[in-house]
Structure 1
Amino acid sequence: MEKQLIKPFLTVANYRFMEQQTDKIIRALATTKDKNVILAVRGIVKSELIDSFTWSDEEEKIVQSLIDINDRAEGEVFLEQLKTYIIPFKAVETSKLKSLFKKEKKLKLPNLEEIDFQQISYLAWDDPGKLRRYLVMEQDKGFKALKGTFKLPATQGICALCNQHTEVVRLTTSVKGEVPGTFTKHYNYVCADSQLCNQHVTDIEKVSAFFDRVTK
């Protein structure tokens, strides 16, 4: 993959999508010698790349080199080089998190120093003692926050955030209703492990839609 003097242009979710597409080609190469089958898989991946995003000419040249990968080693090199084009989740400070959840008494905060913001599409952490989960995503150059309670034990299901079949917990969130003193509750199944969920997110718009849906 040729290096280009261009700014980072991939969200973390875009990168995860590229990982997914790279894996498609690597698995095809590992399971068949049929050139027509491999060519068909490359064609599907190319279509996914072109149809799913809008690229500049320079960006398209970078991502399309994925299509010509010939083995796992080349795939790993491609993905490693691609990391230089990731736009990380906006760094957030403890004081900002406190302001986002200012009504929360004894807010349990995550250790931000342990978080790799280049690896997450949204920020999430749990307060196991209260069975409470806090979620933060970027929106309109700022942040949007959401909190809810989750119910154990985990079960198998589809996560409302990453849309993968995995271990999930039921997350209950609530927002103020139109009538004073009333609340609307939302129930959704989300990954039991929010870190694993972040590895599965390939479409940030679905995460944004989830936040919009449960905060109305």
Structure 2
Amino acid sequence: MQTPFIQNHQFNYIQKQADFLLKTLRSVVDPKVLETVRYTVGTNAVSIFDELTSEQKQLLEQLSTHEKIHELQTYLNQLESYLIPYPQISAKQIQKLFPKAKKLKVPDLESIDYAHTTYLRWTDIATSRLFIVYPHEGRFLGIEGRITPTNKKGYCMFCHRHQELGFFNVKTKAHSPDNFSSIAQYVCMDNTACNHSITDITMLEKFLLSTVK
């Protein structure tokens, strides 16, 4: 049985390396350049993992050996079977994370593509509230805040892709329960697109953890 070892953001990164390789194959004929690019994408795919077995490393290095789009797609389809899905969570667990949201509208959990989810997020259009649930060190973090559409495109803080942005403002307790401050960032308005684009969780975790301190 295959043991999952690839997280969604890592798969997205590998997919971008595959796209880079494909574009190079279509536009470059110099064998030395192609050899360099192959080495680079193979090395990059391996470097985003802290620990790998020899079999896992060999599997990732296979990325650099493919030459045609259907071969790369078949390879990526194979890698999807190694994806670590988002941890199982119930509506009741989500509601406990947001005790002040009395009329919390929980998303349809059965319709979510958990394999391609780094962080669970949904927007309550009626209240302009964005809710985020993120698994961290064996527990779930629940963060909510107001999101205001900017009606313009820019780079999302979480996925670093050029997308329609919203201004996400989260209230935080500064030094006491009665003393509040807030932090805010520009993030994607499209929940699915952000999860399908994120390749690094550093900024996501930094922002989320800063709101719960």
* Paired position in structure 1 for 2:192: 195
What percent identity do the matched residue pairs reach? 28
Give the Cα separation in 2 of the matches to 1:56 and 1:207: 28
Q: TM-score, normalised by structure 1?
A: 0.93
* Paired position in structure 2 for 1:183: 180
* Paired position in structure 2 for 1:118: 115
Give the Cα separation in 2 of the matches to 1:206 and 1:11: 16
Give the Cα separation in 2 of the matches to 1:180 and 1:9: 40
| Contact 2:159 2:199 survives alignment (8 Å) | yes
Is 1:129 aligned to residue 104 of structure 2? Answer: no
The count of corresponding residues between Structure 1 and Structure 2 is 212
Runs of 4+ in 1 over 3 A off after TM superposition: none
Q: TM-score, normalised by structure 2?
A: 0.94
Give the alignment's Cα RMSD to 1 decimal.
1.4
Task: Name stretches of at least 5 consecutive residues in structure 2 with no aligned partner.
Answer: none
* Paired position in structure 2 for 1:48: 44
Q: CA deviation at 1:92?
A: 1.0
Per mean C-alpha deviation after superposition, the further-off stretch among 37-46 and 195-204 is: 37-46
Task: Name stretches of at least 5 consecutive residues in structure 1 with no aligned partner.
Answer: none
SS across alignment from 1:88: coil
Q: CA deviation at 1:45?
A: 1.1
| Contact 1:162 1:201 survives alignment (8 Å) | yes
Give the Cα separation in 2 of the matches to 1:7 and 1:180: 44
Q: CA deviation at 1:49?
A: 2.4
Give the Cα separation in 2 of the matches to 1:45 and 1:120: 24
Give the Cα separation in 2 of the matches to 1:28 and 1:173: 42
Give the Cα separation in 1 of the matches to 2:174 and 2:207: 18
**1:1-216 superposed matches below 5 A:** 5-54=1-50, 55-216=52-213
Give the Cα separation in 2 of the matches to 1:102 and 1:179: 19
Residue type of the alignment partner of 1:14? Q
Give the Cα separation in 1 of the matches to 2:149 and 2:162: 17
Give the Cα separation in 1 of the matches to 2:28 and 2:149: 42
Deviations 1:111-131 (A, max 9, x none): 111111011100000001111
| Contact 1:148 1:173 survives alignment (8 Å) | yes
SS across alignment from 1:213: helix
SS across alignment from 2:117: coil
